[in-house]
C-alpha cells in the first residue's frame, strides 16, 4: 500500500517507518522537520492524494496547553478530513494510554488490571487531546484504529531506567507509578502493521503493552498491594502463574489485530 505517515521523522516514526517499508509499503512522509504541519489541511489533503491509508503519528507532547491541544486535535481532524476526501481505506492513529487519565499520576484507577472498559477521565491537555481524537475517529465514516500505547521504550531506555533504579529503588513508583507498563518500539511498529491489515472495524481504541511489568524487584500484585491497596483487584489467578504479568490487559488488541508483543522487560 501507499501510506501517508505523519510524524515519520519523530522518535516513534523512526521505528515504525522501516518496519512498514520492510514489508513492502510505499511511504509518503509528512513531518514538521520538513516544514509539513498537520494543521495545514490543504497540504495534508494534497499529500494524501493517491494514498491507500494513513498512519497518523504526529502529535505534540510538550509545550503550552494551548499548543498541545490545538496541534493534536486540529491535526487529527485534518488527517481524518483528508482520508474522507480521498476515500482512503483506513486511518491508524497513535493515541496514548494518557487518554484514560490514569497515567503520569493523573488519577487512581477503579480497578486493576486496566482494560478498554475502564472509564476515561483525562486531566491534562495532552490526555484530553488524545481522548478527543479517539472520539473524532469514532464519528467519521473512515475506518479507524486508535492504538493506546504507554511509554515507548527504545534500546537505550532500558539501560537508563535500570541505572536510575539501581541508584534509587523508589524511582520505580515515585513521584507516580505507571503500573509497570511499557511497550517496546518494535512491538509498536508491529501493532501498526497489524492495524493496517486486520479485518477493518468501523472504529476501535486498543490498549497496547508489553506482556510483563518493568519491575526489578516486586511482582505485579505485590506492587499493586504496596501502592494502590484500596483499588479493586480483577486479576484473578492468572497473576499466580505469571507473577510479572502486565497490569494492562491487551486481550482486545491481540484479538482484533492478531498481534502479540514479543519484547519483554526480562
Whether the per-residue pLDDT at 96 is higher than 80: the answer is yes
DSSP 119: P
Residue 157 in 3-state DSSP?
A: helix
Q: How does 139-166 read in b/e, with b if 16+ C-beta sit within 10 Å?
A: ebebbbbbbbbbbbbeeeeeeebeeebe
Q: What is the pLDDT of residues 45-81, one digit of tens each?
A: 999 999 999 999 999 999 999 999 999 999 999 999 9
Residue 134 is placed in which grid cell? 479517539
Residue 205's φ and ψ, nearest 5 degrees, are -115, 120
Q: Is 187 helix (H, G, I), strand (E, B) or coil?
A: helix
- The answer to whether the predicted template modeling score (pTM) of the entire model surpasses 0.85 is yes
Residues 140-172: tens digit of each pLDDT: 989 999 999 999 999 999 999 999 999 998 999
Given a cut of 90, is residue 216 above it in pLDDT? Answer: no
Distance CA 36, CA 20 (A): 21
Distance, CA of 64 to CA of 45 (rounded, Å): 27
- Dist CA 249 CA 210 (whole Å): 10
Classify 115 as helix, strand or coil.
Answer: coil
Q: What is the pLDDT of residues 239-257, one digit of tens each?
A: 999 999 999 999 999 999 9
For residue 22, the 8-state DSSP code is H
Mean pLDDT over each residue of the chain, to the nearest integer:
96
8 Å CB contact between 121 and 64: no
CATH superfamily, domain at 2-153+179-212+248-257 = NAD(P)-binding Rossmann-like Domain (3.40.50.720)
| CB count in 10 Å sphere of residue 93 | 26
d(CA 69, CA 8): 20
Angle at 123 between CA 231 and CA 214, to 5 degrees: 50
Amino acid at each position: 500500500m501507499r501510506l501517508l505517515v505523519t510524524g515519520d521523522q519523530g522518535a516513534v516514526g523512526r521505528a515504525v517507518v522501516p518496519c512498514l517499508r520492510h514489508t513492502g509499503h510505499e511511504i509518503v512522509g509528512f513531518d514538521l522537520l520538513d516544514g509539513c504541519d498537520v494543521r495545514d489541511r490543504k497540504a495534508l489533503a494534497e499529500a494524501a492524494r493517491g494514498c491507500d491509508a494513513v498512519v497518523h503519528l504526529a502529535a505534540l507532547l510538550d509545550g503550552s496547553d494551548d499548543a498541545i491541544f490545538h496541534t493534536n486535535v486540529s491535526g487529527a481532524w485534518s488527517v481524518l478530513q483528508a482520508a474522507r476526501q480521498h476515500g482512503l481505506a483506513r486511518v491508524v492513529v497513535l493515541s496514548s494510554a494518557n487518554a484514560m487519565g490514569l497515567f503520569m499520576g493523573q488519577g487512581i484507577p477503579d480497578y486493576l488490571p486496566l482494560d478498554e472498559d475502564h472509564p476515561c477521565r483525562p486531566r491534562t491537555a495532552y490526555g484530553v487531546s488524545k481522548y478527543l481524537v479517539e472520539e473524532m475517529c469514532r464519528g467519521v465514516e473512515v475506518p479507524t484504529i486508535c492504538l493506546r500505547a504507554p511509554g515507548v521504550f527504545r534500546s537505550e531506555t532500558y539501560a537508563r531506567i535500570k541505572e536510575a533504579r539501581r541508584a534509587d529503588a523508589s524511582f520505580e513508583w515515585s513521584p507516580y507509578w505507571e503500573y509497570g507498563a511499557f511497550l517496546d518500539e518494535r512491538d509498536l511498529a508491529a501493532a501498526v502493521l497489524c492495524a493496517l491489515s486486520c479485518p477493518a472495524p468501523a472504529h476501535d481504541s486498543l490498549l497496547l503493552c508489553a506482556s510483563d511489568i518493568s519491575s526489578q524487584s516486586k511482582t505485579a500484585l505485590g506492587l499493586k498491594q504496596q501502592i494502590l491497596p484500596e483499588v479493586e483487584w480483577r486479576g484473578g489467578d492468572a497473576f499466580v502463574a505469571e507473577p510479572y504479568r502486565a497490569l494492562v490487559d491487551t486481550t482486545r488488541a491481540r484479538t482484533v489485530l492478531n498481534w502479540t508483543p514479543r519484547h519483554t522487560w526480562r
